[in-house]
Amino acid sequence: MSVVAAGDGPWLDDAAGRLVRPFTVSNGRTRPTVALDLMSQVMATGATPLGYLGPEHAQALERCSVPVAVAEVAAHLKLPVAVTKVLLADLVDCGALTTKPPAFHHNPTDRALLEAVLDGLRRQL
């Protein structure tokens, strides 16, 4: 059994998996203070957050040096999207991140677009 140190990434155990439960990271909060969807873009402002933020906050902030979608940050952190949104909202609230809604060049409910996405997903399976 090997355990990864706290500073090396998420606390993992080969047999047990993540040692810190996802909602512990957000102190049990499930609702972000800022409206974010999966495709919202977040980017670091360069401002240093005041007060203590957990290691997941630091990892999220590091990932946002360029504009990135909320879904991508969640995948990188290996956390549920609901938890990731809370972490990102914390960073927005303290001025370390800025956010903007996704820019759609197409109608997001366009049937042809949705069918193309579905076909692409089927090819991956």
Residue 70 has pLDDT above 50, yes or no: yes
The boundaries of the domain holding residue 73 are 24-104
Evaluate whether residue 92 is within a structural domain: yes
Measured CA to CA in angstroms, residue 49 lies from 44, 105, 120 at distances of 11, 34, 40
In a domain, 91, yes or no: yes
Instruction: Tell if the pTM clears 0.75, that is, is over it.
Output: no
Helix axis angle for 70-77 and 81-93, nearest 10°, is: 110
Residue 7: pLDDT band (50, 70, 90) is very low
In-domain check, residue 125: no
| Nearest in space to 33 (alpha carbons), one of 99, 103, 102 | 99
Residue 74, pLDDT above cutoff 80 = yes
Domain count, the chain: 1
Judge whether 10 lies within some domain.
no
- For residue 104, the model assigns a pLDDT of 62
Does 59 reside within a domain?
Answer: yes
Burial of 1 (0-12, 13-18, 19+ CB in 10 A): exposed
Do the domain assignments include residue 8? no
Residue 66 lies in a domain: yes
CATH number for the domain that contains residue 90: 1.10.10
63 burial class (0-12, 13-18, 19+ CB within 10 angstroms)? middle
Residue 69 falls within a domain, yes or no? Answer: yes
Residue 76 backbone dihedrals phi, psi, to 5 degrees: -65, -40
Of the chain, the percentage scoring pLDDT greater than 70 comes to 71
